[in-house]
Structure 1
Amino acid sequence: MKDKSLKPIKRRKTKTAHHAPIDPDVIFGLHAVQAALEVPVSRVKEIWLAAERQDNRVDNLLAAANEQGVVIHFSERETLDKIAPDVQHQGCVAKCRPLESLDEKGLFDLLDNLNEPPLLLILDGVQDPHNLGACLRTAEASGAHAVIAPKDRASGLTATAIKISSGSAERLPFAQVTNIARLMRELQQRGVWLIGTSGDSETSLYQTKLTGPMAIVLGAEGKGIRHLTRENCDEVVFIPMQGEAESLNVSVAAGVCLFEAFRQRSL
């Protein structure tokens, strides 16, 4: 017998939060803004600082901004929240000229002017800007000369990617190309050895020579490199792992591969 005193529970639909997109020409966070100020010709136009922030990091940022002749506004945090909504901006936001990526011609000009064998990172469709930013940071730290990604269905240099890169996006060339497979063939014609990564390969990364002109090719999150991309690789290797994990985050895989190349090149 049903208890009539119990009323049926009404299920309410949960509204999905829609965060306002950040202007791609806005960067945020003390480290990201400081890095943008420290290049020879800064792209920073204006900076907003939270009025209550007073510490050594802010003093260093102010000195760099004054040297570059950048306009500084001391504002309430609400103002910064409007410019860079829904992010941890640390009381520092800047509006900039666009951070330009290289095209195919710019990339080849870069390679032609290197005085050492090129080390490149090719990202085959990485869509998460956090992963792109982390890959840029890893690539710079390991001595890579450029990071390459497709223009379509992949993350570009968004405000989040720039923030996560911790300044590397300002210093390391980033190329966006129309056709990754065609670019890979053109790199091969220039003598660049293309090394893809896949868990089903039988060749270990640590059994592979990584000292000549080369590019490490990594795939998208959870999918790996595409079939056509793999076909254009000269060699495919796997990263030895223990435990139950089936794969690594793309930025972690980039670190393992690039620093093994760095180790071999340093010998």
Structure 2
Amino acid sequence: MIFGRHPVVEAVRSGVNFDKLILQKGVRGDFEKEIRQLSREFDIPLQVAPKERLRKWTSANHQGIIGLQSLIPYHRLENILPLVYERSEMPLLVILDGVTDVRNLGAIARSAECVGAHALIIPQKGSALINGEAIKTSAGALNRIPVCRESSLVNVIELLQQSGVQVLVSDLQAEKYIYDLDMRGPVALVVGSEDTGISQGVADRADERFIIPQAGSTDSFNVSVAAGIMLYEALRQRLQG
């Protein structure tokens, strides 16, 4: 944690990775404008919170601003994709659309790294923080697989499709089974929120929808289990050629 106006501004400008900035409600003037500009320029989520919330983080003189440093570096998808293609590899990416439980995020990262996925993509807002528990659950995979934090998943999907990557989403109403899809080419697999699933805007832009076969009566698999199944199917197809 970094707090205080000058220390936070200098840390942002020097490239320190932040999970988010917390600005005290009621702060106005040039400093507020500067923080909002920096959060946009450096793609850092900005949260406005009452003074009492900031006091829970520190009793020191925080001057109305706290920055929560990230435990991992964040990458840009636009930089990852060219490197994958340059290595003559087929991109395998995982998009987390509203996964808010840190243990689910960590478990998905572990499965993704195990099958050789090239990156995880998370949204700036509405995603679990990558904290110590997430890293522990991932068995350290979050330190090895690139994580891309992007402002808009809709824009991410457009970039992927323009780059030749097929975007696939799980849908209980879909007619195709997961093993009916060809995952040997460039693929991005979307996993949704634990409660509400994949957001409509993301689902509408997918190239294909599929269902994971079930025999029991439970509504669906846990999101991290479903992600593991999806990733394993992609790996199985690629190993078979």
1:73-103 C-alpha deviation (Å, 9 max, x unpaired): xxxxxxxxxxxxxxxxxxxxxxx98411113
Displacement, 1:207? 1.0
CA distance in 1, matches of 2:87, 2:148: 16
What's the CA shift for 1:112? 4.3
Answer whether contact 2:121 2:148 (CA < 8 A) is retained.
yes
1:151 is displaced (CA, Å) by 1.0
In the TM superposition, residue 224 of structure 1 has moved relative to its aligned partner by 1.1
Question: Which runs of structure 2 are paired with 1:35-114 in the superposition (5 Å)?
Answer: 98-114=71-87
State the alpha-carbon separation in 2 of the partners of residues 190 and 106 from structure 1. 12
1:127 and 2:100 matched: yes
Structure 2 CA distance for aligned equivalents of residues 107 and 136 of structure 1: 17
Q: In 2, distance between residues paired with 1:245 and 1:106?
A: 40
**TM norm structure 2:** 0.68
> In the TM superposition, what is the alpha-carbon distance from 1:110 to its structure 2 partner?
3.8
Change (3 A) 1:228 1:103: same
User: In the superposition, relative to structure 1, how do residues 245 and 197 fare at CA in structure 2: closer, same or farther (>3 Å)?
Assistant: same
Is structure 2 residue 156 aligned with structure 1 residue 183? yes
- Structure 2 unaligned residues grouped into runs of 5+: 3-68
- Structure 1 residue identity aligned to 2:89: E
Are residue 257 (structure 1) and residue 234 (structure 2) matched? no
Distance 1:126 1:111, change over 3 A: same
The CA deviation string for residues 105-125 of structure 1, in whole angstroms up to 9 with x for no partner, is 433444344321101111101
SS in 2 for 1:265: helix
The structure 1 residue matched to 2:166, chosen from 188, 193, 200, is: 193
2:71–2:131 contact (8 Å) kept in structure 1: no
2:12 aligned partner? none
Do 2:122 and 2:149's aligned partners in 1 also have CA atoms closer than 8 Å? yes
Tell me by how many angstroms 1:223 deviates. 1.2
Of the three residues 116, 139, 145, the one matched with 2:118 is 145
Q: How many residue pairs align between the two structures?
A: 174
Question: Do 2:81 and 2:91's aligned partners in 1 also have CA atoms closer than 8 Å?
Answer: no
Work out which of the residue numbers 227, 233, 237 in structure 1 matches 2:200.
227
| Cα distance in structure 2, aligned partners of 1:208 and 1:108 | 22
With over 3 angstroms needed to count, the CA separation of the structure-2 counterparts of 1:186 and 1:122, relative to structure 1, is: same
Q: How far off its partner does 1:193 sit?
A: 0.4
Question: Residue 248 in 1 paired to residue 217 in 2?
Answer: no
Shift of 1:254: 0.6
Q: Indicate the SS of the match to 1:133.
A: helix
Runs of 4+ in 1 over 4 A off after TM superposition: none
Q: Determine helix, strand or coil for the equivalent of 2:169.
A: strand
CA RMSD for the aligned pairs?
1.8
Give me the identity figure in percent: 37
What secondary structure sits across from 1:195 in the alignment? strand
